[in-house]
Amino acid sequence: MIKYIGIAAIAFATISCGNTTENVALNSASEQVQQEKKYPIHKTDAEWKQLLEAQAYNVLRQAGTERPNTSPLNKQYAAGTLICAACFAPVYENEHKFDSGTGWPSYDRSIEGQVERDVDYKIGYARTELKCNTCGSHLGHEFNDGPRKTTGKRHCINGVALDFVSKGTDLPALRN
């Protein structure tokens, strides 16, 4: 029995290594395409570091993830618009927010044309990454387990990637 477990472990390791190499190659190709795309707002890494607080920089520019249940936006249901915390572009309307129970703010759709979908292989398999279409900042990921009565999509967004602007308040100018 131990012999069979050892053989299974070796087979799994071999398969995993093959997939890891393939995913690293795919991830590198995806990152290269991302670097080649020009967004309307473009800043150097040093400029983003100077503008953003450490946690926001980690999420928005390095595709990090904030801890669940830490964002004040989780309980924010007032009418308003969510803007990208990096460039101030409007990306979500709060009327499309729902409680997904995941610990991150969730929306069933973005403002049309404001959020870009990309492929992310960072954890070893393909996921749909959501990025600001104005500056390319990482917002979160899209999943197919959202409300069936609307889009069926769940945009699982890092709260630190967004700022809330109450309805009736002017949106700030884009950060150039």
CB contact set of 41 (below 8 Å; sequence gap of 6+): 87, 89, 134, 135, 174, 175, 176
Q: Locate all alpha helices (DSSP H) within the chain, ordered by sequence.
A: 2-36, 45-51, 54-62
135 is catalytic: no
Rounded to an integer, what distance in angstroms lies between the CA atom of residue 170 and that of residue 19?
A: 48
Please pick, among 84, 87, 135, 156, the residue that the annotation labels catalytic: 156
Of 140, 138, 161, 175, the C-alpha closest to 41 is 175
Q: What are the residue numbers of the active site?
A: 156
